[in-house]
């Protein structure tokens, strides 16, 4: 998934970017399997952020009736066409709406919302699900995905480009980021019982596995699709991100270090300023 000039803004994901979402089989099959396992004939399904309509299509294939919200006009009209040519238009009601403001009232057996992003940053997964839960008086047990596990490690990143040093937050690439510590869970989020605050303020102690200068931390987010089934982050789905440290810190194998994070769900990546400190 290139992070080029058409990198998604925090709300709308332009139609051209949906190509990368559609060709990501790991993501698609993970969601399709969850939908096949959880959606039954006759179910009322609410999809928040329908994009090209593919997840609504999977639900319709199970015999459900779907109400699907999409904010972006071009994407929504494309979805209308795709749902038509895939033979499920009569089962899916596509609505032009901002899911942060409008949730069509009704009783839903299943809610689907894929606005996932590493660290639950950038996109509106938590905000939209919180709003939906408030509007509907709770989310159904069959909410897809069900939650997320947020992990962190610290390491050594190469932020130089043709000898030009430019340390800024970027997607993880195994070629230029080497983890030097074990990875640790810093937050578990259950979408059915969201924390009261969006703020993630945490300090985790991690074991150093290799001696070197630590100049970055990496955030990784796995998705809990349904009970016991996890969709791991990949270089396409929920791509891990590497954040430079303002104050790099030397670390020796066998020691422990402290990683501090302080951000809110939905924040822009640039707002995340992790710190690494020696741990005594
Ligand atoms: C990551 S895409 C997923 C699209 C589709 N569900 C899929 O899995 O391929 C998220 C979609 O949600 C839409 N979206 C983002 N914020 C929204 C909001 N507040 N209300 C409605 N749609 C929104 C974006 O435009 C985008 O199409």
CA-based torsion, 91, 94, 95, 98: positive or negative: positive
> For position 14, what pLDDT does the model report?
85
CA angle 184, 189, 193 (to 5 degrees): 155
Tens-binned pLDDT, residue by residue, of the chain (280 aa): 444 334 455 678 889 999 999 999 999 999 999 999 999 999 999 999 999 999 999 999 999 999 999 999 999 999 999 999 999 999 999 999 999 999 999 999 999 999 999 999 999 999 999 999 999 999 999 999 999 999 999 999 999 999 999 999 999 999 999 999 999 999 999 999 999 999 999 999 999 999 999 999 999 999 999 989 999 999 999 999 999 999 999 999 999 999 999 999 999 999 999 999 998 7
Tell whether pTM > 0.85. Answer: yes
CB proximity list for 243: less than 8 A, separation 6 or greater = 169, 216, 217, 218, 219, 269, 272, 273, 274
pLDDT tens by residue, 79-99: 999 999 999 999 999 999 999
> For position 174, what pLDDT does the model report?
97
Tell me which residue has its CA closest to atom 1 in ligand 1.
Answer: 115
Any ligand 1 atom below 6 A from CB of 100: yes
| Cα of 13 from ligand 1 centre, angstroms | 7
Any ligand 1 atom below 6 A from CB of 50: yes
| Residue that the structure tokens 């698609």 belong to | 28
Per DSSP, helices labelled H in the chain are: 18-22, 25-38, 54-61, 73-85, 125-136
**3-class SS at 128?**
helix
Any ligand 1 atom below 6 A from CB of 220: no
CB proximity list for 149: less than 8 A, separation 6 or greater = 185, 187, 188, 189, 221, 222, 224, 230
> For position 227, what pLDDT does the model report?
87
Q: Report the residue among 70, 110, 135, 144 best suited for mutation to probe ligand 1: largest number of ligand atoms under 8 A from its CB.
A: 70
| All domains of the chain in start order, with CATH | 15-114 (3.40.50.150), 147-278 (2.70.160.11)
């Amino acid at each position: 998934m290139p992070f080029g000039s058409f990198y998604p803004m925090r709300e709308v994901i332009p139609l051209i970017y949906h190509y990368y979402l559609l060709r990501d089989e790991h993501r698609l099959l993970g969601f399709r399997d969850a939908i096949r396992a959880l959606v039954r004939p006759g179910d009322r399904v609410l999809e928040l952020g329908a994009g090209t309509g593919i997840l609504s299509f999977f639900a319709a294939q199970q015999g459900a009736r779907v109400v699907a919200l999409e904010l972006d006009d071009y994407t929504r009209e494309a979805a209308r066409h795709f749902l038509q040519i895939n033979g499920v238009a009569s089962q899916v009601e596509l609505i032009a709406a901002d899911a942060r403001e409008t949730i069509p009232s009704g009783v839903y057996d299943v809610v689907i919302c894929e606005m996932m992003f590493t660290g639950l940053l950038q996109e509106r997964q938590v905000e939209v699900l919180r709003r939906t839960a408030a509007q509907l008086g709770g989310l159904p047990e069959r909410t897809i995905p069900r939650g997320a596990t947020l992990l962190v490690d610290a390491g050594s990143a190469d932020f130089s480009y043709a000898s030009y040093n430019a340390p800024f937050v970027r997607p993880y690439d195994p070629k230029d980021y080497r983890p030097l510590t074990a990875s640790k869970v810093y937050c578990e989020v259950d979408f059915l019982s969201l924390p009261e605050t969006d703020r993630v303020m945490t300090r985790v102690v991690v074991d150093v596995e290799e001696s070197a200068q630590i100049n970055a931390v990496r955030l990784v987010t796995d998705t809990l699709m349904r009970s016991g089934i996890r969709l791991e982050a990949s270089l396409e789905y929920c791509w891990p991100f590497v954040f430079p440290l303002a104050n790099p810190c030397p670390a020796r194998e066998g020691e422990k270090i402290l990683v501090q994070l302080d951000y809110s769900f939905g924040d822009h990546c640039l707002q995340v300023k992790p710190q690494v400190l020696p741990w005594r």
